[in-house]
Amino acid sequence: MRYILSGLAAAVTLAACMNAEMPDASEGRAAYDANCAMCHGASGTGDGPLAGDLSVKPVNLTTLTRDNGGAFPVNRVLSYIDGYKRKAAEDVEMPEFGLLLEGPSVPIETGEGVFTPTPRPLAALLAYMESIQK
């Protein structure tokens, strides 16, 4: 019995550590402001200072959840940012963000019960983007 209990305590401690390491929205805000706000706007609605100069309008990032049936589209956003899923014009307009892809990874849920190791700066950015959904 004691072994079971100590195993349980270890599992709880591990879960607590993982949570402590998960970046929250405030950590991602700086990355958003530095890398995304110039096009997508300070509040994410697509009205950044560069938006007018682009041939393709930056997407309103605050309605991603609403447009996806109420669930934040983690995989779609991830693949946009790391450049996998772009249309021809998108390659021109949206730069890739190598720096966001560096650093230690944290597990983020990318499907029901599926966790994908994700570079911490990118996980923080995702948390921020999720926090600005309307």
Q: What is the rounded CA–CA span in Å between residue 12 and residue 128?
A: 26
Q: Does position 38 bind ligand HEC by CB under 6 A?
A: yes
- Min. distance of Cβ 8 from ligand HEC in angstroms? 39
Distance CA 97, CA 84 (A): 12
Token pair recorded at residue 100: 């966001």
Based on the shown chain and the rule CB under 6 A, indicate whether residue 30 belongs to the binding site for ligand HEC.
Answer: no
Our finding on whether 80 is near ligand HEC (CB under 6 A) is yes
97 near ligand HEC, rule: CB under 6 A: yes
Residue 56 in contact with ligand HEC, rule: CB under 6 A:
yes
CA–CA gap between residue 92 and residue 9 (Å, rounded): 51
Is residue 93 involved in binding ligand HEC (CB under 6 A)? Answer: yes
> CB of 133 within 8 A of CB of 65?
yes
CB of residue 35 vs ligand HEC: minimum separation in angstroms?
4
114 part of the interface to ligand HEC, by CB under 6 A: no
Indicate which single residue of 25, 27, 47, 54 sits in contact with ligand HEC (rule: CB under 6 A).
Answer: 54
Using alpha carbons, select from 96, 59, 92, 99 the residue that is nearest to residue 81.
96
Question: What is the Cα–Cα distance from 67 to 90, expressed in whole angstroms?
Answer: 20
Only segment of 3-11, 17-25, 49-57, 108-116 that touches ligand HEC (CB under 6 A): 49-57
Residues 17 and 30: their CA atoms lie apart, in Å, by 24
Identify which of residues 12 and 56 has a Cβ nearer to ligand HEC in the complex: 56
